[in-house]
Structure 1
Amino acid sequence: MRKRKADSSSSTQTSQCKTHLGFKEMASEEDWNLIYAKTQQMLISNAQGLYKGEGVQLNNVLEQNMSPISVVEEDKGYKQSSLLDHFKLDEPCTHKHKQDLIPPPNIEKHTCTYCLKSSFSPLSICGFCERKFCPQCLGRCSRCVKLFCSVCSQMDYSDNVDERLMCFTCISENI
């Protein structure tokens, strides 16, 4: 069977593309502005209610949505509560144990030579250059099992099976 030739007027790419229009594309911008304004108003009013201690009125929301499901069963004695009921929002936030946040005076803050991160944990010393490094910046030599920084060690690919970290001393002994 022979193929028919396409018309030159319909050969443009835009006429051959399929376009799916969903609800979002069909709705006008004014509708979305109304939805946004109503949602923002509901969020603000419920947040103000939580701040005042009134809580969210879920029953009113359910009546508006015409949902027959009841969230709170009053006959069983369950009480509707919120996580914010356990906190007092009127008082400024203070830490009860301020002494826990301050480190003891005899511990020094150390800074890694390579990544410059500060911490209270002790730093290890490189076996070659003898500078202080955090545990993440040091590697263990596969031959002498000492700790070395990335500047004083090198990956060895000689056995084609595994990559091994070796210090310069062990590499010079291999040669």
Structure 2
Amino acid sequence: MAIETMSPLSRWVYALKISSWPKLLVPFLLGQGLGASAVGELSGWGLLTGLGFTVGLLVFIVLLNDWADQEVDRIKRDMFPDGCSPKTIPDGILAANDLLLAAMAFGALALGFASLGDFLHNLPYLVPAGLLCLLIFVAYSLPPLRLNYRGGGEFLEMLGVGLALPLFNSYAQSGQWLSSAAGQILPA
């Protein structure tokens, strides 16, 4: 890939790592399905709220992860000049400040969708649940915890994609915090 010939749009598309999106879109679908199953119908607003939140969260995670890992990515680039994929910041695909600003904007967008869902459907736990989803990633990548470098990354990933995001989406869809359908997949 010739980085210097990439258009601004293709640089952002590269940074968004679209091939990684199923990691969050599958838990979105699971939660939406559990919520719809619990109430016997599919809410278009619940679907839109959940999708908007999930996409905002996803972009927040992908971009902020590149920003948080820029030092490690520089080390990888120095150690393996031709042996790894292009690194967003060290290889000059995007500037660190641009990634950080975009990540913050998409985190705010995610919380905006949670707030909209709360406002339109009186779901008082939606914003705290959304904030928890964002904070799980913050604990994963950012100081002072930065648990992905301390052996806690897999646990936080499991907590985020295996529990928090499906429950957020189930609640957005059904209005029930722990629907009977969600209870069937949770450990007893």
Q: Give the TM-score, by structure 1 length.
A: 0.21
The structure with more helix, counted as a fraction of residues:
2
**Of the two, which has the highest radius of gyration?**
1
Q: Give the TM-score, by structure 2 length.
A: 0.20
The structure with more strand, counted as a fraction of residues:
1
Higher relative contact order (CA 8 A, sep 6+): 2
